[in-house]
Chain A
Amino acid sequence: MPKAWFIALGVALVLASIGAYCIYHVVMTGIGAWGNNNSVGWAWDITNFVWWIGIGHAGTLISAILYLMRQQWRTSINRAAEAMTIFAVMCAGIFPIIHTGRPWLAWWMIPHPNDMQMWPQFRSPLMWDVFAISTYATTSILFWYMGLVPDLATFRDRSKTKLKQAIYGVLALGWRGSARQWHRYERAYLILAALSTPLVLSVHSVVSFDFATSLNPGWHTTIFPPYFVAGAIFSGFAMVMTLMIPARYLFGLKHIIKAEHIEAMCKVTLATGMMVGFAYSVEFFIAWYSGSEYEQFTFINRSTGPFWWSWLSMVTCNVIVPQFFWFKKCRTNPWIIIVLCLLINVGMWFERFVIIATSLSRQFLPSSWSYYWPTKYDVGVFIGTMGLFLTLFLLFIRFLPAVAISEVKNTLPEAHAGKDH
């Protein structure tokens, strides 16, 4: 295992360094290094931002919503999924910050008294983004850390060297598993789950407001919040499976992350995939039903215009691919699942690209119509965030409890011996 781990970490670090170089170049020369132009002002950067945020949402869904629904199978994957959330949000945050053009002034978005006596404009959805994403990142980190504490205490008590004992000891905050502490801990966990559930729905709704509150045909629709949330869960579950299926082989977790857990996730992916497909058809219906020639043009242009290839990729990967999960064979064969999940992640990336690039390249003014093509720096920064994500995930899986130990124990039959019935 360590050998495969080191190879993977090496690859991840190389990708992350490419990204670091590209970010350096973009920051030093300005975002003109990207392929963004006057018409398509949002392109790969915002596509990647929305994509990463969406990836992160599955983690919260698994840790919070499935907890509230008492789906016990979630305990096998919730820790890793929560870590995935945090790392994905970190990757997502990079893009809008660079996109500001002067990232060293990004702190101006935080309301604070200043010499210029300027205050943020809170009627802008971009400010809503700042608050939603930072609240989401904070909540995810605290929720994750709280779940980690009892397991870090286990690590502390199992460590052989003084250094490890000291590090894990400080991180475990002196947790000693007392019943009086567990009582408050469980309450707090339940409350955090209940708070995260509306939060995760609000975060992707707010992200969709960036588009929906504009007047741009193809963006200005009320279906966006639920449609974005369904897409987020869809892509997030695909990502969880992409990560957890190799992990359960590499780390020998097959008896904890069982085949039926993977199958359950396939079913969630199928369900959310159907919702996404439904949303696509509703968009087309509304464009026709609205009677607005601009809306109708936008949607016809999406499927048959210059970006027809991205629209076709989106529909193939997001609507047709998940249909394979109707078959039990496809839900149980790890190779098929991995391939389908990778395709879904590609499809969900294209969905955001289609929404952003096709709408912006054909706005109301035909003289501003243009095409968009990425530069190597667009690609490099995106690859870099993948490297960063993988690096963090590999470090996490090596040094922190990747499976929620105390929660898994809690689902064992012995844990319920205290109850008299």
Chain B
Amino acid sequence: METNENNDHDEATSAHAGETSPATGSTSGHDGARASSNSDEGELYGVLAEFDSPGALVKAARKVKDAGYGDFDCYSPFPVHGIDEAMGIKRTILPVLVFCGGITGTFLGFLLQWYCNASAWQWNVAGKPVWSIPANVPIGFETTILLSVFTTFFGMWILNKLPQVWHPFFRLDRFTKVTDDGFMLGIEAKDGRFDAVETKKLLESAGAIAVEECYLDASPANTKMPMFIYGVIICTTALALVPFALVYKARASHSKDPHYHIFGDMDFQAKVKSDQYNDLFADGRSNRGEISGTIPRGWLNDDTSYAQGLENGAWITSFPTSVEVSRDLLRRGKQRYEIYCSPCHGVDGRGAGMVAVRSQKIGQGILPRNLVDPGAGVITQPNGQLFNTISNGNNTMMGYGAQIPVADRWAIVAYVRALERSQFAAGTDLTDAERSAAMGATP
């Protein structure tokens, strides 16, 4: 599709060039197409010369530069080889900017990851260090590339002073050829050496097939931005602020309305929950009690001291007879304690577990109890009560009966006692012989 148009256009422009080139050899280059708009032309912006080939353009550029002009530029549909040197264009600073952008990207990428995972939220994954460089290299690499790309792309347009959709040369019909098959050189009137006659002569002697003057638009109506564009800009800006305003309103106000249920079947599932009303049963309850006279398999707890820590309605202070306190039991208790209890109560039992530390940091939640300090009132409780707390929970702590088998609960009780002993032992806990042996060992 484009190709066909292209062919047509080539013929049209070559015919056009044929008409104008002899006519403009000596005159000022105002051909018929522009004559009508002469009346509203104001100040002279510069002159534009057309050349018939990239080679001619390069030669002309060299000549113009040698004549001492600075405010001139060449225009071509593709980058012409050798023109940089002919025009004396200095190497662009862009690569240096990109390098700086890339280094910034590396730095920011690692800083982001360090902040998220090693500072703001030190998430313990299988005991691995919170900050380990190799895992952070891929993202550091990507941010390096991303910022380099941004610097290249936006830096190039800013250095080129684009976007600038309007330019005096766009007023010339001839200039539209520059993105197709035209090779042009424009000298601006603000150049110190510019002279309306001499400059044109120079361009003609450099081999221009046409030289044309370019005037700024005289009528203020045409040089100002149309009012509707202001309107569009103001409206878009106002509309773009609406979402932010809504978010701000939502954050700054309270509402008693239920939130929107976009995914209804996820919020309201077709199932009965335990506390819901239910037509199926006479008592209207969904939650069904146990059938009288039956218990689930394995729930026959006739040894209450073992299953509940109770004997004759009082907490037992020792261990049940079936629990043998041994080194193996303590080892088992330590392992279970560190899985189930240490996240909140801490490995040393003083209440500074990972969850507790985090909840204090974000100012939410309450501190878990210190299990081992006799002054905190936990370790002074009888064994049966400790066992009961593990099984059924206490205050905000939930019961762990469902997760931890009875035998392991007793192992944890034993280990908590050991934790207390290891940290709060008094001198009187030792026998005289042990004390003197310990005193003798330390000079």
Residues of chain A having any CB pair with chain B under 8 Å: 1, 28-30, 104, 111, 117-123, 125, 127-128, 131-132, 135, 138-139, 142-143, 146, 150, 153-154, 156-158, 169-170, 172-188, 191-192, 195, 198-199, 202, 206, 209, 251-253, 255-256, 398, 401-403, 405-407, 409-410, 414-420
Contacts and interface: CB of A to CB of B under 8 A. Distances in A.
A194 to B, nearest CB: 9
A118 B121 contact: yes
A173 B123 contact: no
B77 A177 contact: yes
B156 A146 contact: yes
B179 A154 contact: yes
B152 A188 contact: yes
A195 B149 contact: yes
A175 B176 CA distance: 11
A416 B80 CA distance: 7
B355 to A, nearest CB: 13
B80 A418 contact: yes
A177 to B, nearest CB: 5
Q: What 9 A-B pairs have minimum CB-CB distances, sorted nearest first?
A: A173-B163, A417-B55, A119-B116, A418-B82, A188-B156, A157-B176, A418-B58, A182-B79, A179-B74
Contacts of A154: 77, 179-180
Interface string B133-169: 0011011011101101110110111011011111101
Contact of A176 (B75, B113, B136, B141): B75
Contacts of B159: 184
A128 B139 contact: yes
Contact of A111 (B54, B73, B112): B112
Contacts of B141: 198, 202
Contacts of A255: 3
Given A122-B113, A146-B153, A191-B95, A177 B179 contact: yes
Given A173-B163, A177-B178, A202-B141, A420 B82 contact: yes
Contacts of B180: 154, 157-158
Given A158-B5, A401-B2, A123 B135 contact: yes
A143 B149 CA distance: 9
Contact of A418 (B57, B89, B266): B57
13 contacts: A111-B116, A117-B362, A132-B138, A158-B5, A173-B164, A173-B165, A176-B167, A178-B74, A182-B80, A188-B153, A192-B153, A202-B145, A255-B3
A367 to B, nearest CB: 23
A29 B265 CA distance: 8
B81 interface: yes
B83 A179 contact: yes
Determine which residue in A139, A154, A182 has the highest number of CB atoms from chain B within 10 A of its CB, and name it.
Answer: A182
B208 interface: no
Contacts of B115: 119
A235 to B, nearest CB: 23
A198 B137 CA distance: 14
Contacts of A202: 138, 141-142, 145
B404 interface: no
B135 A410 contact: no
A86 to B, nearest CB: 14
Given A132-B138, A150-B179, A185-B156, A173 B162 contact: yes
Given A179-B61, A418-B58, A128 B169 contact: no
Nearest to B90: A183
B121 A117 contact: yes
Determine which residue in A122, A185, A414 has the highest number of CB atoms from chain B within 10 A of its CB, and name it.
Answer: A122
A125 B135 CA distance: 9
B287 to A, nearest CB: 27
Contacts of A111: 112, 116
B329 interface: no
A198 B145 contact: yes
A415 B262 CA distance: 60
A180 B88 CA distance: 10
Contacts of A175: 162, 179
Nearest to A213: B135
Interface in B91-148: 92, 94-95, 98, 112-113, 115-117, 120-121, 123, 125, 128, 132, 135-136, 138-139, 141-143, 145-146, 148
A154 B135 CA distance: 47
Given A122-B136, A123-B132, A154-B77, A117 B149 contact: no
Given A174-B165, A180-B73, A415 B139 contact: no
Interface string B57-77: 110010000000000011111
